[in-house]
Amino acid sequence: MAYVATRGGARAIEQSQRLFRAEMGTITPERVAEVRRALPYLVDRVMGEASLYDADLAALALAQTGGELHEAVLLLRAWRTTQPRLTVADPVLQQDLFTHRRISAAFKDIPGGQILGPTLDYSHRILMTEVLSGAAQTPDPVDAAAISAPAQHPSVAAWQAENGLLSAAEPDTRCGNDIPDITREPLLFPAQRAHRLQSLARADTGGVLALGYAAQRGYGQAHPTVNELRLAEAEVIVQHPRGTRFSAGRVKVSQAEVVAKTGSDLRLGFAATLGWNEVKVIAAATLDLNAKGAPKGSATEEEFFLYHTEGVEASGFCIHFKLPHYVTFQSSLDAMRDAKARDQAKNQARAAETAQATREAEPTP
Amino acid sequence: MSLKSLTRDWQPMSFGFLDASAKREIRRTSLKAIAVPGCQIPYASREVPMARGWGTGGLQVSCTLITPRTRIKVIDQGADDSVNAASIRRFLARVSGAPTTMDTLEADLIQSRHRIPEEVLQDHQVLVLQVPNPEPLRPVEPNMSLARQMHADADYGRMWLQLYEQIVRSGRVMQGASYPSLVNGRYVMTPSPIPRWDVPKLHMARHLTLLSAGREKRLFAVPPFTRVEPLVFEDVPYRVEDHAGLSCARSGARGFFMNEIPQADGSSSYEISDSELGVKSIRQRDNETVTIGDTWYKNGEMAG
C-alpha cells in the first residue's frame, strides 16, 4: 500500500523527498558557487531552456536537483512565473554584440575575420586521468593576439543581402509589450515567427538536436551551411522610468545563421538562445530553415518540432505515466473482456453449427 | 490616507501562487469556455511548481478560483489519499490557506483526475478535471491545428468512422475511458479519461465542470444544465463498465465503480473507487452517524 497509501500520502511524499536529498547532502552557498564556476556550460544550458538568465539561480537549481536537468529547468521556469515583468529591453542587434567567437563555414574569410574564441572543437578528447591520481590540471595562460579582434561584427547574412544573394526576412517592428510572448500567449499554428524563435530558444537541447539532426541527415529538404555561428555577450538596454536608457548588464547569447540554396536565392534559418550552447542553435536554425513548406506532420514541420522539443512538457508527460492509471486501465479491461467473451461465444456457436452440419451430412445407416 | 494603507505588504508569493495577470487570463478563458460549451479555448498556461502532466492545468484553474474560504477536495483515481492528490491538496492549502475536506458534500471546489465522485454534485460546487489530452480527434488527427479546423467545421466523420470500425472489428465500441461526447449538440469533447461510468453524470448536471489541460494549454467547460451525449449509433446503445453487480470487499457498498484488485489465487477482489464513499459506507456499517448524499447511480443504475 505504499503507492496509493491508505491515509499516509503526505508522510510518504515527505520521506521520499528526504531519501532523494539524503544522497546529495548539505547544499551550501559554496556548493552553488562552485557549480556556477566549474560548470558554466551546464549553467548556460539550463538558463537557456528555462528562458531565465540568472547564473546563481541556475546553479542553485542544479545543486538542488542533483543535476536532474529537466527538474532544474522546471524549478527555474516555475520561479520565473512568479516574477514581475518590470520592463522590456531594447532589441539586441547582431552588429552590436560583444563577440567572443564567430565562425563561418560559408566563406574562407569574412569581413571582421573568423574568430575561433573559446572552443574544444580541435581538442583531442582524452580524459585527464592524472587528475584522479592527484595531479591537478591548471590551464596554461592564454597568449594575447598581436592584434586584438574587433569586439563587434556585422552579420554574414547582412553582407549576402547587400550582394543580392539572400532575401532577408521582413523585420518585425513591434516593440515593448507588443512583442508576442510565448510565455503569456498560447502557441497556435501557423506560428508567428516570434513564437517559433522563442520556442526554439527555450527548447530542450537534446530534443532540438534529435530533430535537427534528423533534418540534417536527410529527413529535411534543405542541407544547411553554417553561415555564421556566434558566441557573444549582449548589453541589456532598458529605459529608466525617468527616461534615461542604460545597460542593466550583459547576458551571454549564442546565435546561428544557417543557409541553403533555394533556386537562385539563399534561404536563411536562424536561432538564438540565452547562454552559450552551440549544438542547440545550429540544430534549431536547421529546423527553422526547413520549416517552410514542410509537409504537415513531418519532423521538420513547425507544429511537430515545436511541440516535441518543449523539454518541460515532454519530460513532465513522460514521467506522468508513473502516476496510477488504474481507473482508465479498468475501463479498457472491461471493454476488452466483453469483446473477448463475445468472440468466444461466436466461435462456440460457429463450432456447434459446423458439428450440426457434419452430423446432418453423414449418411444414415 | 497614506499609500501604505491602500496597498498590501510585499509578499514573496502571490495569493494562490499565480500572479494577477495569469489569473485574469484563466478567468477570461474560463468565461469563454463556459460561453461555448465543449469548445477548447487555448491559454498561455504558466509553469507551476509541479511537473507538466501532473495536473498543472487543473491546478491553474483551482489556483484562480480559490479563496481563503473555498473548501477544497482533491482526488486522483477517485482517492483522496493518492500521493499526487495529497501533494496537490497540500499545495493548494499552502498557497491560499483554504480549508480542505475529503467529503464530497462539504467541498466547494473539487479537483479530480480521472473520476467524478459518486455523490451528486450541487449547483454551488465546481468540478475541475485534470486533462492529459484535450483533443478527442487525436486518434484520427494528431495535428492540433488541423483538428482545430475540424472542430470549427463540426467535421466529425472520421470520429464516427473510428467507432464504426471498432464495432465491425470487435463487436463493440472499444473506447475505454475518455469516451468522446457531444456537448450542447455542437462540439465533441473528451470528458478527460473518466470511465464511461462517469460520463452520464455530466449530462444536464447542476454543477459547473471545468476541464483544463496545462501541458496542451487548452481549457473547456460543461456549464450547468448542458447536454453531454456520448457518441453512439442508434442501434448500439452506450454501455458503461459492467460494475453494477460488483460489491466492495472492504465496505460492502454495491453498485458503484470499482477498482479490481488481483488476488494471489487468480481471482479478483473489488474495492470502491470513490474512496471517501467507501469510508462513509464502512462507518455507516459500524453504526456511526454519517451523511451519504444522493448518488447518481442507484442499485448500479444511473437514475434517469
For residue range A140-197, list pLDDT tens digits in order: 999 998 988 889 998 899 889 889 898 777 888 898 889 999 999 999 999 999 999 9
CA-CA-CA-CA torsion sign (B67, B69, B70, B74): positive
pLDDT at A336 over 80: yes
| B chain contacts of residue A9, beta-carbon cutoff 8 Å | 81-83, 85-87
Q: Does B185 touch chain A (CB under 8 A)?
A: no
Chain B: nearest CA to A47, how far in angstroms? 15
User: What is the per-residue pLDDT across A348-362, written as a single tens digit (0 to 9) for each?
Assistant: 999 998 888 888 887
Q: Does A323 touch chain B (CB under 8 A)?
A: yes
Q: Which residues does B142 contact at the CB level (< 8 Å), separation at least 6?
A: A297
DSSP classification of residue A292: T
Contact B116, B295 (CB under 8 A): no
Q: Does B81 touch chain A (CB under 8 A)?
A: yes
Q: Does A334 touch chain B (CB under 8 A)?
A: yes
Q: Is A15 left (phi over 0), alpha (psi -120 to 50) or beta?
A: alpha
Name the pairing type of β-strands B228-230 and B187-189: unpaired
* Binned average pLDDT, 10 residues per bin, chain B of 304 residues: 76 85 96 98 95 95 97 96 91 95 97 98 98 96 96 97 95 94 98 97 98 97 98 95 95 95 95 96 94 96 86
**Average pLDDT for residues A228-237, to the nearest whole number?**
97
CB contact under 8 A, B176 and A3: no
pLDDT at A63 over 90: yes
| Contact residues, A window 68-97, toward B, CB-based 8 Å cutoff | 74-75, 77-78, 80-82, 84
CB contact under 8 A, A81 and B174: no
Smallest Cβ distance to A81: which of B46, B84, B176?
B46
CB contact under 8 A, A327 and B193: yes
Chain B: nearest CA to A78, how far in angstroms? 5
Here the cell at position A3 is 503507492
| A chain contacts of residue B175, beta-carbon cutoff 8 Å | 335
| Contact residues, B window 88-117, toward A, CB-based 8 Å cutoff | 90, 113-115
**Average pLDDT for residues A214-219, to the nearest whole number?**
93
- pLDDT of A5 reads 40
Q: Mutation target for B interface from A73, A334, A340, A350: give the one with most B CBs within 10 A.
A: A334
**Rounded distance between C-alpha atoms, residue B70 and residue A187, angstroms:** 32
Q: Which residues of B236-267 are buried (b: 16+ CB within 10 A; e: fewer)?
A: eeeebbebbebbbebbebbbbbbbbeeeeeee
Backbone angles phi, psi at A248, to 5 degrees: -85, 0
- State whether CATH 3.40.50.11310 applies to domain B20-230: yes
Contact A260, A224 (CB under 8 A): yes
DSSP classification of residue A218: I
Closest by CA to A232, choosing from A292, A133, A154, A294, is: A154
CB contact under 8 A, B52 and A316: yes
Contact B216, B134 (CB under 8 A): yes
CB contact under 8 A, A81 and B178: no
Based on the number of CB atoms within 10 Å of its own CB, is A259 exposed (0-12), middle (13-18) or buried (19 or more)?
Answer: buried
Q: How many CB pairs under 8 A join A and B?
A: 166
Contact A12, B83 (CB under 8 A): yes
The CA radius of gyration of chain A, in Å to the nearest whole number, is 28
CB contact under 8 A, B258 and A330: yes
A133 band by pLDDT with thresholds 50, 70 and 90: very high
| B chain contacts of residue A4, beta-carbon cutoff 8 Å | 77, 79, 81-83
Interhelix angle for A193-202 vs A40-50, to 10°? 140
Q: Does A336 touch chain B (CB under 8 A)?
A: yes
CB contact under 8 A, B51 and A82: no
- pLDDT of A364 reads 63
Name the pairing type of β-strands B268-272 and B126-130: unpaired
Compute the 3-state secondary structure of chain A and give helix, strand, coil in percent, each to the nearest 5. Answer: 45, 15, 40
Q: Which residue of B has its CA nearest to A318?
A: B53
This model of the complex carries an ipTM of 0.90
**Rounded distance between C-alpha atoms, residue A82 and residue B19, angstroms:** 6
User: Domains of chain B: which residue ranges?
Assistant: 20-230, 258-302
**Rounded distance between C-alpha atoms, residue B127 and residue B112, angstroms:** 7
**Rounded distance between C-alpha atoms, residue B242 and residue B232, angstroms:** 18
Chain B: nearest CA to A225, how far in angstroms? 30
